[in-house]
A and B are shown apart, each in its own frame.
Chain A
């Protein structure tokens, strides 16, 4: 319950923060919400020599939509802001469905979406949502700025591609071409539990036709899984009972679950199929009636 010793800096500008990271390399960790990092440090699974606390950096707690429809979420935007966001409730169904399911209401007051993406926990919920939406992480370093699609951003459990002197400053969800539909379902045994299985479905519809489909899976592999074949199978056609069933099968195939105390691999695969089916049926009531 007691972290090992470390040095601590609370920079007041992004440039200062980047400078600190640059000078300390691998020995430094960025602290934003701290709801994943501090618990790890208390159990001594993480013992960075320097903590760079970015909570004093101004102007990073936003989430807003650009005129072109791009959604931007700042590094200090707390889960709670997203949970209570009218913007999300009206324009981002997948995100709005996931936000209340992150951890518990008190943790949501501190934890951040961008921090969650950087932490890259395979059982993290936001990663599936952002992956399904085709989102990216924007990083800033001494050399400038770069946007990294989330699929490239995470390279393994708790591993991302950020250089030691880069800070993630924003998550970006690209504008939708059509009408958004979708949601997030999480099998958790109680509030605050990690997902046994989580499924994010993010669709864009033009009339009855699916113009874009992203499906991503939480907790059924070494990292978040993009069920690309499932998404592709839905694109360019209406949702029917048949196409839904086919996509669900493909998503289940994409899962790489392990048998453990949360359930058998077979069960988890089945839950992927079940959740994909339920989410797609909700997106297309006609398909649900036919089912």
Chain B
């Protein structure tokens, strides 16, 4: 269904947009975006995936962390047009239809979250760590998460959550 606006917003001005094609959590998407649109805004507003959060304006907090071709990136510091041809993974893609990802289970088991705002970014950064290093030490976990800020937990339980997930993934893989 298409609604014809009587007075389209911003009438009279032709703002160039670019057509991009990308996948999000395995699903192919096409969008027409202004070059200046940030990737985080494409994800949150364009796609309605609000699990990726925005917490700062200087690329420090990491609440906006997503996976780009499997590697964590701060989506607030990428342009949406840069997603063209790439695979984006967000927190909504962690669980399958029937099962939570062990990281999600681990964060719940070990009280790795309080307000929940940093949690999606933390889990995705942790996922990339565990993909590369299935048996990390506590130091390696802290190092891998040092680009994600948390204000509530003091990190100790976040580390325990990731180690819980690592143990579960190892036992499932065994």
Write out, one digit per residue, whether chain B residues 70-83 have a CB within 8 A of any chain A CB (1) or not (0).
01111011110110
Whether the pair B73, A2 counts as a contact (CB closer than 8 A) is no
In the bound complex, what is the Cα–Cα distance between A48 and B81 (angstroms)? Answer: 16
Interface residues on B, range: 20 to 34
Question: Can you give 25 A-B contacts (C-beta < 8 A)?
Answer: A1-B57, A3-B38, A5-B15, A5-B35, A6-B36, A8-B35, A10-B84, A31-B79, A34-B77, A35-B77, A38-B59, A39-B57, A42-B38, A42-B77, A43-B57, A51-B79, A105-B145, A105-B146, A106-B74, A106-B147, A106-B148, A107-B74, A109-B68, A109-B71, A109-B73
A191 in the interface, Cβ–Cβ < 8 Å?
yes
In the bound complex, what is the Cα–Cα distance between A43 and B59 (angstroms)? Answer: 11
Whether the pair B77, A110 counts as a contact (CB closer than 8 A) is yes
Residue from the list A1, A6, A104, A109 in contact with B35, Cβ < 8 A? A6
Interface residues on A, range: 20 to 34
Binding site for B on A (CB under 8 A): 1-8, 10, 31, 34-35, 38-39, 41-43, 51, 53, 55-56, 80, 103-107, 109-110, 191-192
Whether the pair B78, A107 counts as a contact (CB closer than 8 A) is no
Write out, one digit per residue, whether chain B residues 27-45 have a CB within 8 A of any chain A CB (1) or not (0).
0000000111010000000
For A55, what are the chain B residues with a Cβ–Cβ distance below 8 Å? 82
Whether the pair A105, B143 counts as a contact (CB closer than 8 A) is yes
Binding site for A on B (CB under 8 A): 15-16, 18, 34-36, 38, 54, 57-60, 62, 65, 68, 71-74, 76-79, 81-82, 84-85, 125, 143-148
CB distance from B67 to the nearest CB of A (A): 10
Whether the pair A38, B125 counts as a contact (CB closer than 8 A) is no
In the bound complex, what is the Cα–Cα distance between A31 and B143 (angstroms)? Answer: 27
Whether the pair B146, A5 counts as a contact (CB closer than 8 A) is no
Whether the pair A107, B59 counts as a contact (CB closer than 8 A) is yes
Residue from the list A10, A56, A109 in contact with B72, Cβ < 8 A? A109
Residue from the list B36, B78, B84, B85 in contact with A110, Cβ < 8 A? B78
CB distance from B44 to the nearest CB of A (A): 13
For B16, what are the chain A residues with a Cβ–Cβ distance below 8 Å? 7
For B71, what are the chain A residues with a Cβ–Cβ distance below 8 Å? 80, 109
Whether the pair B79, A38 counts as a contact (CB closer than 8 A) is yes
Nearest residue (CB) in A for B72 is A106
Residue from the list B57, B81, B148 in contact with A42, Cβ < 8 A? B57
For A53, what are the chain B residues with a Cβ–Cβ distance below 8 Å? 79, 81-82
Residue from the list B18, B59, B60 in contact with A8, Cβ < 8 A? B18
For A103, what are the chain B residues with a Cβ–Cβ distance below 8 Å? 147
In the bound complex, what is the Cα–Cα distance between A228 and B68 (angstroms)? Answer: 42
For A80, what are the chain B residues with a Cβ–Cβ distance below 8 Å? 71
For A56, what are the chain B residues with a Cβ–Cβ distance below 8 Å? 85
Knowing A5-B36, A51-B35 are in contact, say whether A106-B125 is a contact too (CB < 8 A): yes
11 further A-B contacts with Cβ under 8 Å, apart from A35-B77, A110-B74, are A31-B79, A39-B57, A42-B57, A51-B35, A56-B85, A104-B60, A105-B144, A106-B62, A106-B148, A107-B147, A192-B146
Nearest residue (CB) in B for A33 is B77
CB distance from A47 to the nearest CB of B (A): 10
In the bound complex, what is the Cα–Cα distance between A105 and B145 (angstroms)? Answer: 8
